[in-house]
Amino acid sequence: MNSSEIRNEIHVFINGVETQVSSEQAFLPLAQFLRSEANLPGTKIVCAEGDCGACTVLVSRWAIDGWSEFQTLNSCIAPVYLFDLCSIVTVEGLAQEDELNEVQTKMREHHGAQCGYCTPGIVCALSGLAESCAGKNKVLTEKKVRNHLTGNLCRCTGYEPILSSALSIDLKKWNSLKTRYLSTINSQRLEILAKNPIEIVEPTKAAFAPTNLQTALDLKTQTPELRIVAGATDLGVLHNKAKFFLDQVLILNKIPELSKIERTSQGLWVGAQVSLTQVEDFCENSYPELSRLLRIFASPQIKNQGTLLGNILNGSPIGDSLPAFLVLEAELHLASVRGQRVVPLTAFYKGYKFFDIQPDEIAVGLMVPPLKDGFCSKFYKVSLRKDLDISAVTFAGLFKIENSTIQEARIALGGVGPTVVRLPDLEKDLVGSQFSESVFANAGAKARSLIKPISDLRATDQYRLQVTENLFRKCFEELSQEIAPCL
CB atoms within 10 A of CB 118: 24
Query: What are the tens digits of pLDDT across the range 281-337?
Result: 999 998 999 999 999 999 999 999 999 999 999 999 999 999 999 999 999 999 999
CA nearest neighbour of 387 among 310, 267, 301, 266:
301
Q: In this predicted model, what pLDDT tens digit does every residue of 370-402 receive, in sequence order? A: 988 889 999 999 999 888 889 999 999 999 999
3 in any annotated domain: no
Q: Side chain identity at 426, as an amino acid letter? A: L
Least confident of 8-12, 24-28, 113-117, 196-200: 113-117
Are 91 and 123 spatial neighbours (Cβ–Cβ below 8 Å)?
Answer: yes
On whether residue 4 sits in a domain, the answer given is no
The answer to whether residue 2 is domain-embedded is no
Residue 258 and residue 272 in contact, taking contact as beta carbons nearer than 8 Å:
yes
Q: What is the CA radius of gyration of the chain?
A: 23
Handedness of CA 154, 157, 162, 167 (dihedral sign): positive
One domain, residues 37 and 130? no
Assign residue 456 the CATH number of its domain: 3.30.465.10
Residue 39 to residues 82, 90, 92, 238, 485, Cα–Cα distance (Å): 20, 11, 10, 26, 58
Q: Are residues 471 and 375 in the same domain?
A: yes
Query: Confidence band (pLDDT; 50, 70, 90) for 89?
Result: very high
The Cα-based distances of 121 to 52, 56, 278 in angstroms read 9, 5, 22
| Confidence class for position 157, pLDDT limits 50, 70, 90 | confident
- 151 assigned to some structural domain: yes
Given pLDDT bands bounded at 50, 70 and 90, which one contains residue 136? confident
Q: Which domain holds residue 274?
A: 260-487
Task: Please give the pLDDT value at position 487.
Answer: 44
> Residue 227 falls within a domain, yes or no?
yes
| Chain centre to alpha carbon of residue 218 | 27
Closest CA to 57 of 44, 42, 74: 74
β partners of residue 157: none
Q: Are 355 and 240 within one domain?
A: no
Q: Are residues 48 and 134 in the same domain?
A: no
CA dist 228 and 239 (Å) reads 14
For 236-260, write each residue's pLDDT tens digit.
999 998 888 899 999 999 999 999 9
CB 27 within 8 Å of CB 229: no
Q: Is the pLDDT of residue 97 over 90?
A: no
pLDDT tens for 105-134 read 999 999 998 888 999 999 999 999 999 999
486 alpha-carbon distance from chain centroid: 31
Whether residues 315 and 416 share a domain: the answer is yes
Mean pLDDT of 445-456: 95
Amino acid, single-letter form, for residue 268: L
Number of domains in the chain: 3
Give the largest Cα separation in the chain, rounded: 70
CATH number assigned to the domain comprising residue 133: 1.10.150.120
| Predicted pLDDT at 114 | 83
* Residue 36 within any structural domain of the chain: yes
* pTM of model > 0.75: yes
* Domain CATH code at residue 81: 3.10.20.30
**Residue range 165-180: mean pLDDT, rounded:** 96
Same domain, 163 and 215: no
Is 486 a residue whose pLDDT tops 50? no
Same domain, 290 and 378: yes
CA distance 102 to 177: 12
Q: Which of 253, 272, 234 is nearest to 77 (CA)?
A: 234
From 199, 217, 251, give the residue that closes a domain: 251
Question: Does residue 185 belong to any structural domain of this protein?
Answer: yes
Q: What is the pLDDT of residues 399-448, one digit of tens each?
A: 999 999 999 999 999 999 999 999 999 999 999 999 999 999 999 999 99
Q: Does residue 239 sit in the same domain as residue 292? A: no
Of 134, 154, 174, the last residue of a domain is: 174
Q: What are the phi and psi torsion angles at 163 (to 5°)?
A: -65, -40
Same-domain pairing of 364 and 429: yes
User: Does one domain contain both 298 and 198?
Assistant: no
Q: What is the pLDDT of residue 484?
A: 55
pLDDT for the residue 3: 56
Same domain, yes or no: 156 and 197: no
SS3 for the chain is: CCCCCCECEEEEEECCEEEEEEHHHHHCEHHHHHHHHCCCCCCCCCCCCCCCCCCEEEEEEEECCEECCCEEEECCCCEHHHCCCEEEECHHHCCECCECCHHHHHHHHCCCCCCCCCHHHHHHHHHHHHHHHHHCCCCCCHHHHHHHCCCCCCCCCCHHHHHHHHHCCCHHHCCCHHHHHHCCCCHHHHHHHHCCCEEEECCCCEEEECCCHHHHHHHHHHCCCCEEECCCCCHHHHHHCCCCCCCEEEECCCCHHHHCEEEECCEEEEECCCEHHHHHHHCCCCCHHHHHHHHCCCCHHHHHHCEHHHHHHHCCCCCCCHHHHHHCCCEEEEEECCEEEEEEHHHHEEECCEECCCCCCEEEEEEECCCCCCEEEEEEEECCCCCCCCCCEEEEEEEEEECCEEEEEEEEEECCCCCCEECHHHHHHHCCCECCHHHHHHHHHHHHHHCCCCCCCCCCHHHHHHHHHHHHHHHHHHHHHCCHHHC
The domain boundary residue, chosen from 158, 174, 190: 174
Shared-domain flag, residues 65 and 203 = yes
Inside any domain, residue 1: no
